[in-house]
Amino acid sequence: MTGTGYNPPQDPLRILHDDHEIVLVDKPAGLLSVPGKGEHLADCLIARLGRIFPTVLLVHRLDRDTSGIMVFALTAHAQRHLGWQFEERKVQKTYIARVHGLLEGDRGTVDLPIAVDWPNRPLQKIDPDSGRPAVTDWRVLRRGDNETRLRLTPHTGRSHQLRVHMLALGHPILGDPFYATGPARAHDRLMLHSETLRLRHPDGGQHLRFTAPCPF
90-105 pLDDT per residue, tens: 999 999 999 999 999 9
Examine the domain organization and report whether 71 and 159 are in the same domain.
no
Check pLDDT > 60 for residue 132.
Answer: yes
Say what percent of the chain tops pLDDT 70: 98
Examine the domain organization and report whether 75 and 109 are in the same domain.
no
Examine the domain organization and report whether 118 and 173 are in the same domain.
yes
**81 assigned to some structural domain:** yes
Q: What is the CATH number of the domain that holds 62?
A: 3.30.2350.10
**9 assigned to some structural domain:** no
Number of domains in the chain: 2
**8 assigned to some structural domain:** no
User: What pLDDT score does 4 carry?
Assistant: 53
CA pair distance 150, 8, nearest whole angstrom: 26
Examine the domain organization and report whether 159 and 100 are in the same domain.
yes
Check pLDDT > 80 for residue 142.
Answer: yes
**114 assigned to some structural domain:** yes
Whole-structure pTM value: 0.95
Examine the domain organization and report whether 31 and 99 are in the same domain.
no
Per-position DSSP letters for 113-181, written without gaps between them: -EEE-GGGTT-EEE-TTTPBP-EEEEEEEEE-SSEEEEEEEESS--TTHHHHHHHHTT-PBTT-TTT--
CA pair distance 29, 98, nearest whole angstrom: 15
**51 assigned to some structural domain:** yes
Q: Which amino acid is at 53?
A: F
Examine the domain organization and report whether 118 and 187 are in the same domain.
yes
Check pLDDT > 90 for residue 201.
Answer: yes
**200 assigned to some structural domain:** no
Examine the domain organization and report whether 112 and 168 are in the same domain.
yes
Rounded (5°) CA angle 170-189-182: 45
Examine the domain organization and report whether 124 and 87 are in the same domain.
no
Question: Which of 64, 91, 118 is the C-terminal boundary of a domain?
Answer: 91
Catalytic residue among 11, 26, 43, 63: 63
Examine the domain organization and report whether 124 and 59 are in the same domain.
no
Question: Which of 57, 91, 125 is the C-terminal boundary of a domain?
Answer: 91
**215 assigned to some structural domain:** no
CA pair distance 179, 172, nearest whole angstrom: 7
pLDDT band at 1 (very low <50, low <70, confident <90, very high): very low
Examine the domain organization and report whether 43 and 104 are in the same domain.
no
Examine the domain organization and report whether 130 and 179 are in the same domain.
yes
Coil, strand or helix at 69: strand
Examine the domain organization and report whether 59 and 32 are in the same domain.
yes
Residue 59: give the domain boundaries. 15-91
User: What pLDDT score does 140 carry?
Assistant: 98
26 is a catalytic site residue: no
